[in-house]
Chains A and B, each alone.
Chain A
Amino acid sequence: MEKKKYYSCHLRTHDRKWITVMALLAHVARGCSRIPKLQLEAALSVRFQSTLSHNDTKARRARELRPRRNYLLNDEVEQHRKSLLQQSPEVEEIPVQQAEANVPRDFRHVMPEFLPDPNPLYRDRVTEKLERMDMYRRRTCIDIPEFYVGSIMAVTMADHHAPGKQSRFVGICIQRSGTGLRADFTLRNVIDGQGVEVRFDMYGASLQKIEVLKLEQRLDDELFYLRDAAQEYSTIPFDFEPVPLPKGATVPVNSTKVKLNPRPWLERWERHELKGVEDLNLPEKKYRRARQVAKPWERWDLMKRQRESINEDEEESIMKETYMETESTRRARGRQKASLKKTR
């Protein structure tokens, strides 16, 4: 005898009574009286399957309601990539030359975008590796020179709307941020009395040439205060001649102290511990409030430093890889490396 099966998935009532197919379609028939009864019975000839679970216990329900992680951890993923049960397990080969490379101590400041974002939620070895491979390839096509915040640079990029289909922008670098292929830098200049800042993707495909006209550092990591300073500090003529550095020189530090305009400012600069600005000449209560909101203990916060950096060994291996891969491009350009001592 054929076992009766009920089509039940979406039609459970509150007290979990099972409605037969006949009753279901009869219900429909009551509603739309135009369906002939014979046709309804013909429709019953198709079999239905039950989706009843006989394991519907309290324990099962509790397990389903319990929060579960729906992603794998980094360790688990690495384990699976390298597992010998895999059809082609990943074998990480580091060439001997790279493993024994002697990388200058502060190389991480020359190419800081090769170190990944330290946030552990987004870290993945393969993503970072593939991104770095793309970056090395890009560096063989275009010279991305060593520069720091405060350097004067000129960028030529492809532009549909410019004469000659390319445009050149000269400015002082006020910011350098991003990791991997998202690395970018911002150049500031004053054109016809209007301050202009342009942010460029360092690895963007439309950048045709990046020149460093004057390689130097400033006393601060970011120069946003130039927006509140006299325009003379940000004006760089478009025909600025490159200033060559003598061979083997350290990267010079430009210790100009910028005089800010009278307030209002875009930021409360007294709260920023800026070293490259002159005395701000503010009322004492501003400095008092700045001291109240300051966080001087962050300088000694080891855990914060730990969170904002990656593992030392990882950093070392990445920097070694970067040093070896970019060595040929650096040599091919015949540039003498400036000594990489960070003088601040």
Chain B
Amino acid sequence: MATVSAVTLRNALCQLQCRLTGVPQHAFGYVGLVSNYCQVRTKKQTKAQYKLEPDWFVNRKNRRQGKALTGDNEDFVQEVIGDTYRNQDSMLKEDPWPRQEYHRNTRRTGVVAIKLGVVPQWTKEGHKFFTTLLQVIDNHVIRYTPPEEFEKTSGWKPWWGQRFGSVVVGAMSSDPRNFSKAYNNLFTEAGVPPKKKLTRFLVTPDAAIQPGTPLTAMHFRAGDHVDVQAKTIDYGFQGVVKRWGMKGMPASHGVTKAHRKMGSTGGGGDKSGIWKGKKMPGHMGDKWRILKGLKIWRINTKYNVLYVQGPNIPGNTHGVVRIYDTILRYKRPAPDNHPPMPTWAEEDSQQGVELEYFDENLHVMSEASVSYSQ
């Protein structure tokens, strides 16, 4: 007879989830109460075919028919747009926020990057490995919401409590004529051109960052570990062999029209039909996936490119990728050797910014070949 001494809200909701979905309590993933990680065999769960945009999204598309401009007028308008944003300096409106200390549980903001491709690199031991190039294009902080205000918004989850504020980061400035007025208004606080991609990061209040702050690859250091989130390649509607790795059946020896089929759908009798979560053909890919604890081997400051461990970052070339400091405890930096807080500023590199930064174990191409001592 197990007694529950203090019922927290989270516990109560977890237990409710168990009851309704049949997923055992230990199987819940970290991100949310509904986990994708184990097979669900229950009658009550339904799987949404689509996911609507959250209710805080504004209409982005510019519904007005833009008038066609002549060449000279078009050039003039572009010049005006450029001047407007160049002359705006939102950071001068307020004093810059004070830089705070890094603690064990600090979470800094992340960046939004584009996956460029995969190149091989070599360690100082001569061992070959693959790295993915991620380019940080034109990131700015759009908004910071402290924990007390963030708690009241609809994007907040109860288990975050008052630990985290939210930072909205935008990537890739674009022409404001392409977007609606409502969308463009989101960027007035930051004083930056409207961005093509927006995303949110959870930050602790000591990593609060001022809207309008630019973020570059220097936000990270060579040797840091990061978590990378991206949408997987969209394979469309796929059969079970590709989607779930089922073996299918032999190509010959009497097999009739069943070379790539599921085969059996389950047990009979008391097992009462096909269970929920049965692996079947369906849509494959286009899902957010996280890779944790990836090492940054190298940083190129001219192109703002990070060389991140591994050839397997989800998504196609030129897919959008979210990068932030890893949550893995033993790969996080020590407080005495911490990354720049809340992000890199010019005062952090008083000797000047080098073109490239390398991890200490990386073989730099301009050095002599690897040789082993006797």
Main SS at interface, chain B: loop
A28 touches B15 (CB 8 A): yes
B172 touches A182 (CB 8 A): no
Chain A residues, Cβ within 8 Å of B52: 53, 55-56, 60-61, 64
Chain A residues, Cβ within 8 Å of B370: 158, 205-206
A122 touches B366 (CB 8 A): no
Task: Kindly state whether residue A85 has any CB partner on chain B within 8 Å.
Answer: yes
A34 touches B4 (CB 8 A): yes
Task: Kindly state whether residue B51 has any CB partner on chain A within 8 Å.
Answer: yes
B120 touches A181 (CB 8 A): yes
19 contacts between A and B (CB under 8 A): A43-B7, A43-B8, A53-B53, A55-B53, A55-B55, A65-B49, A67-B236, A70-B320, A77-B114, A77-B318, A83-B138, A83-B173, A87-B214, A127-B133, A131-B119, A134-B119, A158-B370, A160-B372, A205-B363
B16 touches A204 (CB 8 A): no
A10 touches B17 (CB 8 A): yes
A51-B154, A86-B173, A141-B368 given; 16 more Cβ-contact pairs under 8 Å: A28-B19, A35-B7, A43-B8, A52-B55, A53-B52, A70-B315, A70-B319, A71-B316, A71-B317, A126-B305, A142-B369, A164-B374, A205-B122, A205-B363, A205-B369, A205-B370
Complex CA distance for A25 and B19, rounded to whole angstroms: 11
The closest CB in chain A to the CB of B78 belongs to A84
Task: Kindly state whether residue B65 has any CB partner on chain A within 8 Å.
Answer: no
In the complex with contacts A28-B19, A39-B7, A49-B153, A204-B372 CB distance below 8 A: no
Chain B residues, Cβ within 8 Å of A55: 52-53, 55
Chain A residues, Cβ within 8 Å of B286: 70
A208 touches B372 (CB 8 A): no
Task: Kindly state whether residue A81 has any CB partner on chain B within 8 Å.
Answer: yes
Interface residue from A25, A34, A72 paired with B3 (Cβ < 8 Å): A34
A49 touches B122 (CB 8 A): no
Complex CA distance for A12 and B193, rounded to whole angstroms: 39
Task: Kindly state whether residue B250 has any CB partner on chain A within 8 Å.
Answer: no
Complex CA distance for A7 and B371, rounded to whole angstroms: 63
Chain B residues, Cβ within 8 Å of A86: 137-138, 173
Write the residues of chain A forming the contact surface with B, with a CB cutoff of 8 angstroms.
Answer: 7, 10-12, 14, 24-25, 27-28, 31-32, 34-35, 39-40, 43, 46, 48-56, 60-61, 64-65, 67, 69-74, 76-77, 80-81, 83-87, 90, 121-124, 126-127, 129-131, 134-135, 137-138, 140-142, 158-160, 164-166, 180-182, 201, 203-208
Complex CA distance for A29 and B13, rounded to whole angstroms: 11
Complex CA distance for A58 and B305, rounded to whole angstroms: 41
Chain B residues, Cβ within 8 Å of A65: 49-50
Chain B residues, Cβ within 8 Å of A69: 234
Interface residue from B12, B33, B121, B126 paired with A158 (Cβ < 8 Å): B126
Interface residue from A12, A51, A80, A130 paired with B137 (Cβ < 8 Å): A80
Complex CA distance for A225 and B304, rounded to whole angstroms: 47
Complex CA distance for A245 and B317, rounded to whole angstroms: 45
B114 touches A72 (CB 8 A): yes
Complex CA distance for A123 and B32, rounded to whole angstroms: 37
Task: Kindly state whether residue B149 has any CB partner on chain A within 8 Å.
Answer: no
Complex CA distance for A14 and B45, rounded to whole angstroms: 10
| Tally of contacts, chain A with chain B, CB under 8 A | 203
Task: Kindly state whether residue B54 has any CB partner on chain A within 8 Å.
Answer: yes
Chain A residues, Cβ within 8 Å of B126: 158, 204-206
Task: Kindly state whether residue B365 has any CB partner on chain A within 8 Å.
Answer: yes
What string of 1s and 0s marks CB contacts (under 8 Å) between B144-168 and chain A?
0000000011101010000000000
Chain B residues, Cβ within 8 Å of A51: 54-55, 154
In the complex with contacts A35-B12, A204-B128, A206-B126, A141-B137 CB distance below 8 A: no
What string of 1s and 0s marks CB contacts (under 8 Å) between B164-178 and chain A?
000000001111000
Complex CA distance for A14 and B48, rounded to whole angstroms: 11
Nearest chain B CB to A207 CB, angstrom units:
6
Interface residue from A61, A85, A165 paired with B85 (Cβ < 8 Å): A85
Complex CA distance for A31 and B367, rounded to whole angstroms: 67
What string of 1s and 0s marks CB contacts (under 8 Å) between B308-345 and chain A?
00000001111110000000000000000000000000
Complex CA distance for A182 and B121, rounded to whole angstroms: 10
Task: Kindly state whether residue B82 has any CB partner on chain A within 8 Å.
Answer: yes
Chain A residues, Cβ within 8 Å of B123: 205
Interface residue from A32, A87, A138, A140 paired with B138 (Cβ < 8 Å): A87
Chain B residues, Cβ within 8 Å of A80: 137-138, 172-174, 196
Chain A residues, Cβ within 8 Å of B368: 141
Chain A residues, Cβ within 8 Å of B78: 84
Nearest chain B CB to A227 CB, angstrom units:
26
Interface residue from B17, B173, B236, B315 paired with A71 (Cβ < 8 Å): B315
A48 touches B158 (CB 8 A): yes
Interface residue from B1, B116, B173 paired with A127 (Cβ < 8 Å): B116
B119 touches A180 (CB 8 A): yes
Complex CA distance for A131 and B51, rounded to whole angstroms: 40
Task: Kindly state whether residue B34 has any CB partner on chain A within 8 Å.
Answer: yes
A134 touches B365 (CB 8 A): yes
In the complex with contacts A31-B19, A32-B15, A71-B363 CB distance below 8 A: no
Complex CA distance for A71 and B196, rounded to whole angstroms: 12
Chain B residues, Cβ within 8 Å of A34: 1-4
A138 touches B82 (CB 8 A): no
Complex CA distance for A72 and B9, rounded to whole angstroms: 42
Chain A residues, Cβ within 8 Å of B12: 25, 28, 35, 40, 43
The closest CB in chain B to the CB of A201 belongs to B128
In the complex with contacts A43-B12, A54-B55, A141-B366, A204-B122 CB distance below 8 A: yes
A124 touches B55 (CB 8 A): no
Complex CA distance for A135 and B121, rounded to whole angstroms: 11
Task: Kindly state whether residue B229 has any CB partner on chain A within 8 Å.
Answer: no
Q: Pick from A11, A85, A130, A159 the residue with the most CB of B within 10 Å.
A: A85
Complex CA distance for A35 and B52, rounded to whole angstroms: 35
Q: Pick from A7, A122, A205 the residue with the most CB of B within 10 Å.
A: A205
Q: Pick from B19, B317, B367 the residue with the most CB of A within 10 Å.
A: B317
A182 touches B50 (CB 8 A): no
Nearest chain A CB to B197 CB, angstrom units:
9
A40 touches B7 (CB 8 A): yes
Q: Which positions 109-129 of chain B face chain A at CB distance < 8 Å?
A: 114, 116-117, 119-124, 126, 128
Task: Kindly state whether residue B300 has any CB partner on chain A within 8 Å.
Answer: yes
